[in-house]
Chains A and B, each alone.
Chain A
């Protein structure tokens, strides 16, 4: 593994080669960064190249909310009235609810993570602020993790593109270009999760609450699919755009081993539903975690 002796380095290179082969077999190009939360030992595949983060930035939003709460600058239990009109449209959470609701900041964050609720996320973007989120990431040592707009802006950019199945047209979409949209690298997203698990974003009960929210994601077709073990905990958050499928999270084994993993993919196919591309995120993550657990 990185920073260790050459036999471990060779094991990391073998793992990286298997991960690259798995990506190719699934019809995607992929990036990965996996690290042992406690030792820092890591496995990488083009882990420092910028990519659009889309819904993964909801983790940055959640982390910033809890960091502000820990500093006493925000009350995460503050209730927000959200009328029925004017909500960001979406496919889950309050984005699909028809009536007015009143929710605390932390419950909005819970919906944004558990079911990737875009309406809840956009309320939080307004309440927490893009600058606050970017400052939090910079102070955590993640300067390449930058937000420039909310979920509504991403949706509008997609709506402006008439054909989402044309690969040539897709290459010009702003939200697929990391220089023009919310962005990060697999390495920094994995490091953000590691920081959350090491109590570096906030500590104590607040940190436990933050981590428990990240364990509530409803779907299991990506990262969790690689760890179909009843006694292994998977926490994470997905991101999806045309041809883009990501997930970052933490895998916890009952022996105390915990591993932060971020897997970013771009598919050759423009199909919206692509099970092989979802599943390879879990496959790649497990190859990496198995290598870290053997190190």
Chain B
């Protein structure tokens, strides 16, 4: 027996206090309605109505069932409505992720902007590497993310591409910290602290290539994960530096922008292709604003390679 449906028939009969009028409202034949109410009475083992010529009056047991069934039917309605909004992406929890080095202010702005745009919606936000995000997006355990490029793109769609400029993290008192900004070439002879290459191999290589393009090839790469540990090592070792987006200031180290922003991390939102419901779109909008406003990101014009070499096989 479909209890919820039978409770709805019962409620209409109780409201009308008359089988004929209730059957009319429910667009059912009166005998059919009577049978359904009798089935409900058998289910509960009590009589719900006193049936007379004048109509159908609730028994005391019927009165009790009516009161309780209101609560059951309301709860069922709420369940349907919430699941429906979740299905349409308007509410519920969006499982999202951000990479390291976005900054606390950016993440806070992202949460606030998302909530403003999605009343009742929740953001379940984790910090994951780009490699972890692309794997989870593909597996369906993550709905949306903010990834660093280049990353594996198959099966994924991306929001607007933004550039996050890197600066140099130096020990307090380093001669270069006296300048307002640092020429990348002035870092020659330094060791570079970087997260493990396996976190984002393509980004790791692209960052080093951009450094080389602008005249800085570190004498060694030191694998260091996390801002705190990076700061600690830089404070302890004179020649070690890191290239990271602007971090929150903290005594012991100083961060300086690089002259003419030669090295950036390309960053965008990402989601599984075809799974861009309203919540994912709201996330992308909120992320675009948060990244531009709080993480100093900017869009750059597309460029064709200006010095095509024979190995590229097409003259463009």
Contact = CB atoms under 8 A, between A and B. Distances in A.
Interface string A252-265: 10100000000000
Contacts of B306: 230-231, 254
Interface string A94-113: 00000000000000000000
Interface size class of B (residues with CB under 8 A): 10 to 19
A39 interface: no
B185 A220 contact: no
Nearest to A224: B309
B212 A286 contact: yes
Interface string A210-246: 0000011111100010001111111000000000000
Contacts of A290: 185, 188, 212, 215, 217
Given A286-B217, A294-B188, A233 B307 contact: yes
A205 B305 CA distance: 24
A219 B309 CA distance: 9
A290 B305 CA distance: 21
Given A290-B188, A293-B185, A231 B215 contact: no
Given A229-B213, A286-B212, A234 B309 contact: yes
A293 B215 contact: yes
Contacts of A114: 310
B209 A252 contact: no
B311 interface: yes
Nearest to B312: A230
Contacts of A232: 213, 307
A294 B185 contact: yes
Contacts of A233: 307
A222 B150 CA distance: 26
Contacts, number: 46
Contact of B311 (A220, A252, A254, A294): A220
Contact of B209 (A217, A218, A228): A228
Nearest to B306: A231
* B contact patch SS: loop
Contacts of A228: 209, 212
Contacts of B212: 228-229, 286, 290
B310 A231 contact: no
A284 to B, nearest CB: 12
Interface in B300-316: 303, 305-307, 309-311
A217 B310 contact: yes
A217 to B, nearest CB: 7
Which residue, of A216, A287, A293, A294, has the highest number of chain B Cβ atoms within 10 A?
A: A294
Contacts of B209: 228-229
A290 B303 CA distance: 24
A220 B307 contact: no
Contacts of B311: 218-220, 224
A230 B185 contact: no
A216 B185 contact: no
A252 B185 contact: no
Contacts of A234: 307, 309
A232 B306 CA distance: 8
Contacts of A219: 311
A216 B307 CA distance: 11
A286 B217 CA distance: 9
A294 B311 CA distance: 29
Interface string B178-213: 000000010010000000000000000000010011
Contacts of A230: 305-307
Contacts of A294: 185, 188, 215
A158 B165 CA distance: 54
12 contacts: A215-B309, A218-B311, A220-B310, A228-B212, A229-B212, A230-B306, A231-B303, A234-B309, A252-B307, A286-B217, A290-B215, A294-B185
Interface of A: 114, 215-220, 224, 228-234, 252, 254, 286-287, 290, 293-294
Of all A-B residue pairs in the complex, the 5 with the closest CB atoms, nearest first, are A233-B307, A230-B305, A229-B213, A231-B306, A294-B185
Interface of B: 185, 188, 209, 212-213, 215, 217, 303, 305-307, 309-311
Given A220-B309, A224-B311, A229-B209, 18 more contacts: A216-B310, A217-B310, A218-B311, A224-B309, A228-B209, A228-B212, A229-B212, A230-B305, A230-B306, A231-B213, A231-B306, A231-B307, A232-B213, A234-B309, A287-B217, A290-B185, A290-B212, A294-B185
